[in-house]
Structure 1
Amino acid sequence: MTGESYAALNHLREGRRQVTVRASGELRDFYERPETPVSAAQDRAARLVAFLREITAASSGELVIADVGCGDGGITRMAADAAPGHRVIGMDWAMAPLETARAKGLTVMRGTAAHPGLPLASASVDVVVFSEVIEHLVDPDAAILELHRVLRPGGHLLLSTPNLAAWFNRGMLALGRQPVFSEVSMARVFGRPGQFVAGHLRLFTLGALKEFLVAYGFADLRVRGACYHDVPGPLRPLDRLFRSWPAASAILTVHARKPH
């Protein structure tokens, strides 16, 4: 590659970084708003904690567990209760939910998997919980690399995200409606059910999520489906049924490992 080509590549990288920083600042303001949802739904949280219990049961020493994008600390609290004797830390970039988490007696710090990165040393964490975060990110590639960096060899990633190919989204698209979870505006909801803007920027199918994680160095993927808390009451038995078919479940929960 010529010197001119290197210079052009570096210019593109710097431009991408500046766009990411500006967009991240705008999103940070969005998540500081009191009306923005920052709490974990029960079923997907329970699925991730079930993975965590399996990990701690197989461990002979103290684990460092980081809940990255912890919001108000709902999963952090569940993780701490499920992993007594282990070190559990909650991290988020928005101060308002962090203060709520701290008020619950949790150990929290400000940090983000996006630029400028987590305030953690490389290979210093045994388990990263990344629940309902990746769909909100401007640069998920940089974030997943950052999680890979802080995990020890053999470390565990526990991730959840909405499923673009959820059973009800297949029906919505067939009817010409906007899929649930997807958003076209940061100001209000258009074309789909629901009243709250959640700030979703990226949506994955099961196949795309698997390919994405493998491409960035994760292996031994295990996937379980989870229910969506806003499914109308009469349809909840159907949502529970589809939970056993992850490719069509409402929520994808994944346990992946960083190879030794």
Structure 2
Amino acid sequence: MSEAREQETGARAARTQGARTTPSRIAALRPAYRADLDAGTDRFFAPRRTTCPWCSSGRLTRRLRTTDLLQHKPGRFTLDRCADCGHVFQNPQLTPAGLEFYYRDFYDGLGEQRMSGTFGGRGAMYRSRAEALLPYDPAPKTWLDVGTGHGHFCAAARAVLPGTSFDGLDFTDGVELAAREGRVDHAHRGSFPDLAPGLTARYDVVSMFHYLEHSTDPDRELRAAHRAVRPGGHLLIEVPDPESRYARLLGRWWLPWLQPQHLHLMPVANLRRRLNELGFTVVAEQHAEAHDPVDLLAAVWLALDHAAPREDAPWLPEPPGALRRATRTALLLAGVPALLTATLLDRLAVRPLSHRLGLSNAYRLTARRA
């Protein structure tokens, strides 16, 4: 069986198993969520900033106000933009209690099987990320993937770099699962800045693929990366591009806003400058190669999902009734032609011209430590 077919079959089995177990699991989780919400959501938000966390400018403007369009947990979230450096950040930012609440059951718990199936089926993208290093180091001995999740990137990258030892680092127990499944050689669980002193100059390569935008303090993460990369080694970073034209054209329906999880979105010039200040030299900047052709499809899905009655979730007071479930199914089925059209546009019309049109939704930097 081919790798792609194995992944597809595994994802389908996981979804089937999840469908059998989800109703009872939701019911079991509902009292804890109810207690959290009864205590109020104010504790989920830190005091509002009056200065930019990247350059300290006080010239802030509102960039976006939205809700949780994926899990539909209660709350409203604001992104501000610095008029001086262009940094976009969540303001007010989530507190540790808020991060725990809004991340809960997204990558783990109820969402673990769904996300594992999603990430496990992206082997081609993962291999292209590993191939980005080849012109600068064709045979690194050690690689640390920060924010590795379940280690799917590391598993796919072995096909590109069979002689490389891949370690993974993450907050969640997914990284320990990755080690048990053999996707990573060693699992580091915890905060990268806290673990970095024990990883000093250990790695030829450190990667942060769609990780930095989730961090509460990107500068601490970058300094941790500088510590973990050996002199002459490389750092690979891939993040959403807040300067993408899609960010303006699609508004709140642009998936990379991903509220409330994405806390910081950095224009590429800002990140290049900070890397240089830390002692890195940027040797490659890629936009088209980092683009994930899902913007229109995701926008249509988010709008449909927002308009339809909610599916059952433990943060809802009670399960939806039969009429609401039927209405949701009918609306989503009616949206299938729009979803198919959006998919074709994403892949066939926009993807080949994404960078030329300024529509790339992400960028990738490869930097060498001096």
Partner of 2:277: 215
Q: How many Å apart are 1:55 and its aligned residue? A: 3.8
Aligned pair partner of 2:170 in 68, 73, 92? 92
Residues 207-255 of structure 1 deviation map (CA, whole Å, 9 limit, x = unaligned) = 2322232233221341112222533213213431344449641121111
- Distance in 1 (alpha carbons) for counterparts of 2:205 and 2:176: 20
Partner of 2:143: 65
The 3-state SS of whatever aligns with 2:275 is: helix
Assess, with a 3 A threshold, how the Cα gap between structure 1 residues 112 and 239 changes in structure 2: closer, same or farther.
farther
- Distance in 2 (alpha carbons) for counterparts of 1:29 and 1:89: 24
State the superposition RMSD in angstroms: 3.2
- Distance in 2 (alpha carbons) for counterparts of 1:84 and 1:149: 25
8 Å Cα contact 2:205/2:235 also seen in 1: yes
8 Å Cα contact 1:183/1:201 also seen in 2: no
- Distance in 1 (alpha carbons) for counterparts of 2:231 and 2:357: 27
Partner of 2:301: none
- Distance in 2 (alpha carbons) for counterparts of 1:131 and 1:80: 16
Give the alignment of 1:43-58 within 5 angstroms.
44-57=125-138
Does 2:256 match 1:181? yes
Give the alignment of 1:116-155 within 5 angstroms.
116-118=194-196, 120-155=198-233
- Distance in 2 (alpha carbons) for counterparts of 1:113 and 1:247: 34
Unpaired stretches in structure 1, ≥5 consecutive residues: 1-18, 186-198
Q: How many Å apart are 1:123 and its aligned residue? A: 1.3
- The answer to which of 149-158 and 105-114 deviates more is 105-114
Partner of 1:194: none
> Normalising by structure 2, what TM-score?
0.52
Assess, with a 3 A threshold, how the Cα gap between structure 1 residues 221 and 246 changes in structure 2: closer, same or farther.
farther
8 Å Cα contact 2:291/2:363 also seen in 1: no
Does 2:311 match 1:230? no
- Distance in 2 (alpha carbons) for counterparts of 1:96 and 1:72: 5
Q: How many Å apart are 1:20 and its aligned residue? A: 10
The 3-state SS of whatever aligns with 2:135 is: helix
- Distance in 1 (alpha carbons) for counterparts of 2:232 and 2:98: 30
The structure carrying a bigger helix percent of its residues is 2
- Distance in 2 (alpha carbons) for counterparts of 1:253 and 1:238: 22
The 3-state SS of whatever aligns with 1:53 is: coil
Partner of 1:83: 161
- Distance in 2 (alpha carbons) for counterparts of 1:255 and 1:124: 18
Q: How many Å apart are 1:118 and its aligned residue? A: 3.4
Residues 153-211 of structure 1 deviation map (CA, whole Å, 9 limit, x = unaligned) = 111011111111223113124xxx464322444xxxxxxxxxxxxx2111122223222
Aligned pair partner of 1:102 in 180, 183, 193? 180
8 Å Cα contact 1:137/1:202 also seen in 2: yes
8 Å Cα contact 1:65/1:125 also seen in 2: yes
- Distance in 1 (alpha carbons) for counterparts of 2:100 and 2:257: 19
- Distance in 1 (alpha carbons) for counterparts of 2:197 and 2:103: 21
8 Å Cα contact 1:47/1:253 also seen in 2: no
- Distance in 2 (alpha carbons) for counterparts of 1:65 and 1:214: 21
- The answer to which of 110-119 and 142-151 deviates more is 110-119
Assess, with a 3 A threshold, how the Cα gap between structure 1 residues 247 and 126 changes in structure 2: closer, same or farther.
farther
8 Å Cα contact 1:224/1:254 also seen in 2: yes
Give the alignment of 1:6-25 within 5 angstroms.
22=96
8 Å Cα contact 2:241/2:361 also seen in 1: yes
What amino acid is aligned across from residue 234 of structure 1 in structure 2? Answer: L
- Distance in 2 (alpha carbons) for counterparts of 1:84 and 1:246: 36
**Which has the larger Rg?**
2
What amino acid is aligned across from residue 187 of structure 2 in structure 1? Answer: M
- The answer to which of 142-151 and 72-81 deviates more is 72-81
- Distance in 2 (alpha carbons) for counterparts of 1:172 and 1:20: 24
- The answer to which of 205-214 and 128-137 deviates more is 205-214
What amino acid is aligned across from residue 262 of structure 2 in structure 1? Answer: H
What amino acid is aligned across from residue 344 of structure 2 in structure 1? Answer: P
- Distance in 2 (alpha carbons) for counterparts of 1:235 and 1:101: 38
- Distance in 1 (alpha carbons) for counterparts of 2:273 and 2:97: 26
Unpaired stretches in structure 2, ≥5 consecutive residues: 1-92, 298-342
